[in-house]
Structure formats: C-alpha cells, structure tokens
C-alpha cells in the first residue's frame, strides 16, 4: 500500500537530509512545510508578512494556514503513490488532519523519529548551510562543502544560512518542539507506527535503517 512517511525530530535532527535521500532513492516527493514557508517568505506577498513573525520568533505558523498549504501540495499528482512529509505534522490538530487526509487519499502513515540529543543540535543548526539552487544541505562542522561557503554542485553559487539558525531562535524552536510537537511521538508510538532511529550516526547509516523500516512497513 502507498505510504506517507512522516519525518519527525527536533530542529537540526536531520529530517531534511534524510527526506532528500528518500526522495532521490525511493522516488517519492519530499514535502517540507519549512521549505514551502521559506519560499513563501521570499516571495514577499501579503502571505509572507503573515507567516514571517511566527518563523522569526521560532514559533509555529497557525494550523489553519499550514493545513491549507499541505492539502494543496499533497493533492498534486506526484503524491498519488505516497509522499514524504518533512516537518508536518507539528501539532495535535495537524496530526488529526493528516489521519483524515491519509484515509481519503488511501495511504498508510509511518512515522520516523530521527533522534539526536540536544547538545548536538546546536552545531547542526548554527553550522548548517544550503544551496539556493539545488537545496543540498551542508554543515560547516559535519558536512563541509569542498570549497568554503560554495555548493559542490553549483560552484558559482554561495551557500545560504537560514534566518532562524541563530542561537536565540534555535533555542525558541527547541522549546516549541518540546511543547507542541514532542507529544505527537507518543501518539504515533501508541498506534504502533513510530520507528525510532539513532540520528547521531552517519547520514548513510541512518538512511539504511529508515529505508528498511519503510519498505517492511505494511
Ligand atoms: P523546518 O524547516 O521544518 O525546521 P526544523 O523542524 O527546525 O528542522 P530543520 O530544518 O532545522 O532541521 P532538519 O531536521 O531538517 O535537519 P537537516 O537535515 O537540515 O521549520 C522551520 C519553521 O517553519 C518552523 O520553526 C515553523 O516556524 C515553520 N513551520 C514548518 N513546518 C510547520 C508546521 N507543520 N506547522 C507550523 N509551522 C511550521 O540537518 C541539520 C544539519 O545537520 C545540516 O547542516 C546537516 O548537514 C547536518 N546533518 C544532518 N544529518 C547529519 C548526520 N547524520 N550527522 C552529522 N550532521 C548531520
Ligand atoms: Mg529541515
């Protein structure tokens, strides 16, 4: 049966890194609410002004808007065979909506927790860079590009640093995660759909375990 793979984990745990590998190797689209909101923010429309304060404060974009964005994106034809959700759901309301969506679309849900202790997360976020062209994710401490601040695949392009990757906003994002999103782990665990993966290993080792969990899930 087709699946919705829900990537869970704290800010900087590696959800995006793993979702990109899953997209590339399993051929399912990666749907990242964070990436979609950042694209909206760059477009400088009234909607951008609506979401900016929440993102810059390390809080959550309101459920109503987030749900609308996810409904529209998952209705695209590329999601027919299933998809990867990176950064959604983050609240109980979003999780409830996802149950209804999955039932209506005929997909089953599998949740993957990429688990990383808090003390590692700071370097993961403050050291992160990404390529504005291809979205490749680097880290100045753990996964540096070949040339400082330049994408390996797009040598003419300087890497970006996310506006919310400063230590103050990261601290707020971690608090928001603890308060709003962590309780969802129990929800998926109780329904037997949570796979816990040690996120302190190499991206390849983590990926191998996730792929096994995904392909063996019913
Ligand atoms: P979002 O973009 O989802 O941010 P996040 O949850 O804080 O997660 P990150 O993207 O920071 O981390 P990640 O787990 O993807 O890690 P990555 O793979 O990049 O959300 C941003 C904001 O948008 C939210 O704060 C909120 O305001 C809003 N938003 C989004 N979704 C929402 C929703 N559903 N509802 C309401 N609001 C929403 O890796 C991190 C770093 O570590 C990288 O540098 C990477 O190279 C490195 N790394 C990765 N894996 C490894 C490894 N195994 N070993 C060493 N380094 C590694
Ligand atoms: Mg991410």
Q: How far is the CA of 164 from the centre of ligand 1 (A)?
A: 10
Q: Whose CA is nearest to atom 1 of ligand 1?
A: 34
**Quick check: 103 pLDDT over 90?**
yes
pLDDT for position 1: 80
Q: Domain ranges in the chain?
A: 3-216
For residues 214 and 5, give the distance between their C-alpha atoms in angstroms, rounded to a whole number: 8
Q: What do you get for the CA distance between the two ends of the chain, in Å?
A: 7
User: In the prediction, which pLDDT does 218 show?
Assistant: 79
191 pLDDT band (50/70/90 cuts)?
very high
> Could you tell me the CATH superfamily of domain 3-216?
P-loop containing nucleotide triphosphate hydrolases (3.40.50.300)
The whole-number pLDDT of residue 73 equals 98
The dihedrals phi and psi of 8, each to the nearest 5 degrees, come to -115, 155
For residue 57, the SS3 value is: coil
The phi-psi region of residue 171 (left if phi > 0; otherwise alpha if psi is between -120 and 50; otherwise beta) is: alpha
pLDDT tops 90 at residue 208: yes
Beta-carbon neighbour count of residue 114 at 10 Å? 25
Q: Is the pLDDT of residue 5 over 90?
A: yes
Closest listed ligand to the CA of 143: 1
For the chain, what percent of residues have pLDDT higher than 70? 100
Q: Count of alpha carbons within 13 Å of 162, Cβ hemisphere only? A: 28
Window from 10-24, 37-51, 85-99 with minimum mean pLDDT: 37-51
Please give the average per-residue pLDDT across 117-125, as a whole number: 95
Cα atoms found within 13 Å of the Cα of residue 182, Cβ hemisphere only: 11
Q: What is the pLDDT, as a whole number, of residue 30?
A: 98
- Decide: 13 and 87 in contact? Cβ < 8 Å: no
Catalytic residue annotation = 15, 90, 128, 162, 173
Question: How many whole angstroms separate alpha carbon 179 and alpha carbon 10?
Answer: 11
Closest CA to ligand 1's atom 22:
34
Give pLDDT, residue 200.
98
- Assess whether pLDDT exceeds 90 at residue 10: yes
Identify the H or E element spanning 138. strand 137-139
**pLDDT of residue 63 exceeding 90:** yes
73 lines ligand 1 (CB under 6 A): no
Query: Residue 91 Cα, ligand 2 centroid: separation in angstroms?
Result: 17
Indicate whether 44 pLDDT > 90.
no
């Amino acid at each position: 049966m087709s699946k919705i793979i829900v990537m869970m984990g704290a800010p900087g745990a590696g959800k995006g890194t793993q979702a990109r590998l899953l997209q590339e190797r399993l051929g399912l689209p990666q749907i990242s609410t964070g990436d979609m909101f950042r694209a909206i923010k760059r477009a400088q429309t009234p909607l951008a002004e609506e979401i900016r304060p929440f993102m810059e404060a390390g809080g959550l974009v309101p459920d109503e808007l987030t749900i609308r964005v996810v409904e529209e994106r998952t209705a695209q034809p590329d999601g027919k065979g299933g998809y990867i959700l990176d950064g959604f759901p983050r609240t109980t309301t979003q999780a409830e909506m996802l149950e209804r969506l999955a039932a209506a679309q005929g997909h089953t849900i599998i949740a993957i927790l990429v688990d990383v202790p808090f003390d590692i997360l700071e370097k993961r976020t403050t050291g992160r860079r990404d390529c504005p062209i291809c979205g490749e994710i680097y880290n100045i401490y753990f996964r540096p590009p070949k040339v400082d601040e330049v994408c390996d695949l797009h040598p003419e392009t300087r890497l970006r640093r996310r506006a919310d990757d400063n230590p103050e906003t990261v601290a707020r994002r971690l608090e928001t995660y603890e308060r709003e999103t962590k309780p969802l782990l129990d929800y998926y665990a109780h329904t037997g759909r949570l796979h816990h993966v040690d996120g302190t290993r190499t991206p390849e080792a983590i990926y191998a375990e996730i792929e096994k969990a995904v392909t063996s899930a019913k």
